[in-house]
Amino acid sequence: MRSHVLAAIPYPIQLLVGLLAYRTVTQTLYGQGTSRFSNDELHAFKSKIWKNVDALLTESTKKRSPDSREPFWIFGGSAPTEADTVVFGFVIGGIISNAYVQRLQASASVFLISRQFARISTNRTESSNSD
């Protein structure tokens, strides 16, 4: 990721800046207590988060007709809310991010619902922008 973010500066300086940024971030995470969790605890947290997102999205899909191709929103309303933008960013980030060495091996249902949420939300945005 360093080569993408720091592409405008020479490679040796990229290494130095990357090292400084890494050290600062790791010190901050340790100071906050975030990096003090074991890998098993982190995996449990990630799984719990994905299961909660899946539960919210599954519940919102139940509030619309099964054959509907209209977007569904996290709280089941007729229009998107700020929560939808947050969940959309979270889902897309989890699906496409290459930053994590150990990716979350979530259940298939989480990714199916999440991908459907992301796909329908994106299609809705593109169609409203073209109007």
pLDDT score recorded for residue 108: 46
Our count of domains for the chain comes to 2
Check whether residue 29 and residue 73 sit in a common domain.
no
89 and 108 belong to one structural domain: yes
Query: Rounded distance, CA 69 to CA 57, Å?
Result: 15
Residue 55 and residue 12 share a domain:
no
Q: pLDDT for 26-79, tens place per residue?
A: 999 999 998 899 988 988 888 788 788 878 888 887 777 777 777 777 777 778
pLDDT in tens, 77-118: 778 888 888 888 887 777 776 665 445 444 444 556 666 666
Check whether residue 76 and residue 106 sit in a common domain.
yes
List C-alpha distances in Å: 91 to 10, 12, 21, 94: 34, 34, 26, 5
Identify the domain containing residue 18 by its residue range: 1-36
